[in-house]
Every structure is written in structure tokens, then in C-alpha cells.
Structure 1
């Protein structure tokens, strides 16, 4: 699984999770039009009233769009999974008539919003719910052990969030019985999804990992907000992430980039991010240089150790992604690692600083949609003089 994800340029751990809607755990509070209740439900429908007065606008995300009508919006994911055909979802305000549409939208799922329950297909959805103060709508996760967020783990421990694919197999019977408002995928396909659709469970694809721009991935908070009715808050959340990201990038010294070793091997193959990938963009903004930064592909290159060693083995800093705790763990994994200059000099860093109680890595949960925090870590490692006293979010030095 890890090899497949890295080869596609994915920087997330796909762990299905379910979203719950706007229940008693929080006030949905979309900007209300006349004739709406507190959570945004319409009490007196008027076809001339705009029930979506606050619109999200997209600056960096390329893999989804939002089109607004007066009583509904059309949320479209261009590529719901690799090479998948576009999928559209019609989101209509609760209390308004279910839209009767024709053409391409005739068979699109109709989803009443704000939603009140959600099953989620990836731990990367969880920070979006936390940032929008919507953890109360989460009712299902695919693998409870993969969750790092304390707020979500507390809900799991309290029995408010169930596990629906702990063995890797989606329990369709349980999902149909529980009937969440939405099951959100992690950007992959599964035969079980069609079974759920046939049973009347709306399946919504979240494919943020196919974005090659770090800020594009972060902007998927607006995708979640389309379902929860939090467009205004999502804009504020994203604008802050963008401002922080840009501020860090502006502080990175613009002199000679720092030669850096990137990635690690998995089952004999070294997966190297291309320059056009999500990771490649982060490295460029952090002031790192590596021999494959000029590759325009948005995924990862599959290399052997000898190729990487010949072109990058003398780099003094290694940004790895192993589960190592000590330098001895690194050479124990593969003795050839001991030939790398960064290992000899003790400048090996890995993104395993925060590991959850069940073994989940926060880098693959919170880090995917918080590129500002990732960039801050990378910049501080490569340019410590420019970022004194930096508090690391995901990376730690392996000693």
C-alpha cells in the first residue's frame, strides 16, 4: 500500500472515516437567509431567495469545483480516484424541495445539507472537521487505530464514532444499517462503494491527494465546508494557512539551495518525489535542492539505491520518512544506508515526531492539509539560522 501511494505522489495514509452532520454537537450557522432556522434549514421556502448567500472561491485547488444556485449547489470532483471519471453531487438546503434536474445532473446524488453524520475514508479528513469545529458529525472511521487526533480518539473511546473497515474490508451491512448522511472516500475506488450507492448511501469522493500544490490540498477545507455549511469559516481557516505558508516561504534565504537527500526505500525501491509533485513544491519553497527537482511529473520516480547514492549520497541532510528512532535503526533496516553522508554526519530527519496511541502518524493525518506546518519544519531544518527556536510539528532529528 505504501509503495502504491508514494508512487502516485500521495502523502497520506488512506484510512476510511465517516462524517456525521450538523447535530447537537455544534451550531451549523451558515449565513442565514430570510426564512431559515439557526442551522440553516428553511422554514418558509421562497424560490426567489438565495439560500447559499456565502460562496466559496477556489484559488489553488484544481480537482473540485463548486457551482451555486439559489437553493442548491453542485459539488464536482474532477478525478475522484486515479483515472476516474468526474463525479457531481447536488447539495440542497434542508427545508427546500429536492431539486429535479436533467442532463448530466439527472442521476447525481441529492444530499441534504448541512449534513448531520459522516463516515470518512481517510484520516486526512479529520483535521478539516477539527478546523471547522465539526467533529460532532463524525460517526464512523475505517480504522480507529490509525487516528491520531485526541479530540477524535476521545469520541471513538466514548462510542460516538464506530469503526467500519478495521480489517481493510468495508462493512457495507453496518454502514447501510447506520445510514450516515455521507460516506466520504479517501480518493480511491472500491467495489463496496457501488453497493452503498445502490442501498441509498451517498458516497462522496475526497481526492485532495491528487492535488500537486500544497495549498491546493489545504483548500479542500472548502470542500468539507460545502457539506457542513461552513463556507465563511473555511475561508478564514484557509486564508490563515495560506498567509502563514507565504510568510515562511518569504523568510527562506534566497541564496544557494541546500543539497538534500529525499525519501527512503520500500521493498527495494527508492521512491523519489518529482519536482512537479506536492512534495517537490514544498522542497522548492523550503530552499532544498535535489537532483530530481527538475522533473515535471506530479508523482514519484522509482529508483534503485545505487542511482540515488551516486547522485545524492553526499548530501549532508536527509529528509526521510522511516519509522526509525535511532541511527542504528536506519542501518539495521539496510546496511547501505550507512554509506550516506547524512547518516555519517548525524543529519537525518524523519516525519515521525507525533505518533498516535494506535500507531498512526500525524504527518499523514494533519500534515496533508496543513502545508504551512510542514513547510515550517522543512525550512527550519534546512535553514536553522533563519528560524531560531522553531517548534517542530512533524519532523524530528534521528540520533
Structure 2
């Protein structure tokens, strides 16, 4: 894997060993608990599996291709969709899918609801009833970590998805390859990752030919708290768009991409930024025009919001599904935001803010 840091794959005699390792990181904070580790042994169904002894002792055996998939996070659904195996989903988090056809299947009961991994452990009754070959399990907090052995004790192999721990956004895309190995869609996965990489390279080259511009991405969480992007994959997107982020710090997979700061610090460090991504779906309304007037981005009309590709009636946000594995699309928006000469197509996920006080 050229970019992934949270998992590696080793070829053996007709089967593969996958090691996954990462920490559970609190939202907007640091790692909690011990680092999590999982060893998977992927063996084709027609092949006799190796004994799970020696360095395979304690590993999870998965027969491939998997035909019944359970998932507890929206971006898993985006991965299965690009691989053409959404019809294999038998359980998902809930009814907030951006994909209309999948959401209809969930609402009809054809696909079970086990709860989203950011809020709670999977609902075991619904999970068992769906009879999955595997559970793709994002672990947003330690409650999910505690639930994992209970799921495994029920005979359901768990594939931990540590995508959010990847410090490079292309490391996130590599998870398409992992699910492709599970589903027998490696050719499709390789082609997808190569396509995203080509698009990213072209965008980076175009942006690098433009003058560098300063940019901040910080949303308001209420009170006197703002959440600026500081590190990891989200910060790399700003940097690769030839943007200079005054809040940028060292990458650290044991920390979330943002930290909370005060309005005073936001002004002190971000007031001269050329552009500002001000909002996303988590933001609280900020209406103090006197504060906004202190920012160059506001005065110059380069105020943007990550609120594109939404379906409010379904409470669905493609920014948290497809965009996670299509960083080229997000990077394209940021490049066009920062460099008007490159605005050759419409914005998709990040677009001009229409809700800021005028």
C-alpha cells in the first residue's frame, strides 16, 4: 500500500494476511485507550485455510469473496458502491444514506439497521439477524471497542476500519483496495485508486503553477469555540491546493484533524487569510458581523462552506460518504476556491457561503 499507514497486506501461499493497527481518537481530541490491533487471514472459499497457529494464532479467518456485508458507517457504503457490491449490504447504520436506492432498501426493511458507529455500538439483534459474512466496523469511541469481542463471539468476523486515522487522504482511498480484496473486486479497486491518484496529481500540478494563497478552515461550535483544521488529511488537502494554513501543525494520527480555539485566537492567526471555509454540517450559526469584518476573507468575498451535495429531507450528506474516498473532488473545490483562474467547472462539496451575515 503506497499511502496507507493503518494497515498492511502480506501475500502468502494463495491467501493474504492483513494487519490493521490504530488508536481510537476522541472527536476534536487525542487518542483514548490502548492502540487497537487486528490480524485478518483472507482465504479464497475454494482453498483449504491454513491452521491459525504460530503468527496466525488469534487471527480472524475470512473466506473470500464475502457475499453478505454489514457496515456501521456511511463512507463504507460509498466504498461498496464504487466496487459495485451495494447489493451485498445486508445491514447498515441507518436510513441516512445519500444513495436513494440503498436508503429505500433500508426503509423497506430489506437491509437491517444496526446503528452508526459514531454514536453507539452495533445493535446485536439486528446484526445477527442480517447473517453477515463480515462487519465493516468503524470505532468512533471506546464503546465500539468494547462491543467488538461480543460481535466476534457471535461468530461474525470484524474488519476494523481505521480510515480516519490516516494522515494522508490517499491513505483513506487505499481502504477501497482492502474492501476490494474482501469482495473479490480487486481489479475495480485498483482502477478506482489509480483514477483518484491521477486526478489529484493533475490538480496539484495546476495549483502549484498559481501564486500561493493563505486559507483557513474553521467552523463555529458555539460559545466562544472554533474548530480550525490543523493536521493530517484535511490539512494536507489545503496544502496540496497550494494554500498556506496559518493554523497548520505537525501531522499526528493520534490526534483529530482539528482542535478547539477561542475567537480571539482565530482573529489573531486567521484574520489575514485570503479564503475561509467557514461552515459544515456541524456548525452553529455565527452572526456577529463585527467579528467577521475583521477577516480579509469575509471582506473580499472568499467565504466558503462545506455544505454541497446534501439531501436535507434524508439528513444525508455526501461529504461524509463519497467525498471521503474522492479527495480529488474535494481538492478540486479547494483549488477553485483559492485560484479563480482555475474555476473551469462548478463547485461540488465546498461552495460559496450563502448564510453569512451580509
How far, CA to CA, are the matches of 1:387 and 1:253 in structure 2?
15
| Shift of residue 127, structure 1, vs aligned partner | 1.5
How far, CA to CA, are the matches of 1:393 and 1:182 in structure 2?
33
Structure 1 residues 99 and 333: alpha-carbon distance in aligned structure 2, compared to 1, 3 A threshold? farther
Structure 1 residues 333 and 221: alpha-carbon distance in aligned structure 2, compared to 1, 3 A threshold? farther
Structure 1 residues 315 and 104: alpha-carbon distance in aligned structure 2, compared to 1, 3 A threshold? same
Higher relative contact order by CA 8 Å / sep ≥ 6: 1 or 2? 1
TM-score under structure 1 length normalisation: 0.78
* Maintained 8 Å contact 2:203/2:331: yes
| Shift of residue 110, structure 1, vs aligned partner | 1.1
Matches within 5 A, 1:311-350: 311-323=269-281, 330-332=285-287, 336-337=291-292, 339-350=294-305
| Among candidates 245, 248, 251, match of residue 206 of structure 2 | 251
The reply to whether residue 382 of structure 1 matches residue 338 of structure 2 is: yes
Structure-1 residue corresponding to 2:135 = 183
Q: Deviations over 1:343-399 (max 9, x none)?
A: 3443221111111332122111111111110100000111121232x1222112123
Structure-1 residue corresponding to 2:258 = 300
Runs of at least 5 residues in structure 2 that lack an aligned partner in the other structure? 26-33
Please give the secondary structure, in 1, of the residue aligned with 2:35: coil
| Among candidates 50, 58, 66, match of residue 107 of structure 1 | 58
Q: Deviations over 1:271-310 (max 9, x none)?
A: 2222x41111111111111212354445333321101111
TM-score under structure 2 length normalisation: 0.86
How far, CA to CA, are the matches of 1:324 and 1:177 in structure 2?
33
How far, CA to CA, are the matches of 1:270 and 1:77 in structure 2?
33
| Among candidates 91, 95, 99, match of residue 46 of structure 2 | 95
| Among candidates 144, 149, 153, match of residue 99 of structure 2 | 149
Please give the secondary structure, in 2, of the residue aligned with 1:67: strand
Q: Deviations over 1:306-346 (max 9, x none)?
A: 01111212324211233499xxx843389744543333443
Please give the secondary structure, in 2, of the residue aligned with 1:281: helix
How far, CA to CA, are the matches of 2:192 and 2:54 in structure 1?
35
* Maintained 8 Å contact 2:226/2:262: yes
| Shift of residue 247, structure 1, vs aligned partner | 0.5
| Shift of residue 151, structure 1, vs aligned partner | 3.9
How far, CA to CA, are the matches of 2:281 and 2:37 in structure 1?
36
Structure-2 residue corresponding to 1:29 = none
The reply to whether residue 273 of structure 1 matches residue 216 of structure 2 is: no
RMSD: 2.4
The reply to whether residue 139 of structure 1 matches residue 90 of structure 2 is: yes
Runs of at least 5 residues in structure 1 that lack an aligned partner in the other structure? 1-57
| Among candidates 347, 350, 353, match of residue 308 of structure 2 | 353
| Shift of residue 243, structure 1, vs aligned partner | 0.4
More strand by share: 2
How far, CA to CA, are the matches of 2:2 and 2:154 in structure 1?
36
Structure 1 residues 384 and 255: alpha-carbon distance in aligned structure 2, compared to 1, 3 A threshold? closer
Q: Deviations over 1:36-93 (max 9, x none)?
A: xxxxxxxxxxxxxxxxxxxxxx111111111122332112112263442321111111
Please give the secondary structure, in 2, of the residue aligned with 1:119: strand
Structure-1 residue corresponding to 2:29 = none
Single out whichever of 379-388 and 299-308 deviates more from structure 2. Answer: 299-308
* Maintained 8 Å contact 1:80/1:87: no
How far, CA to CA, are the matches of 1:229 and 1:255 in structure 2?
42
Structure-2 residue corresponding to 1:9 = none
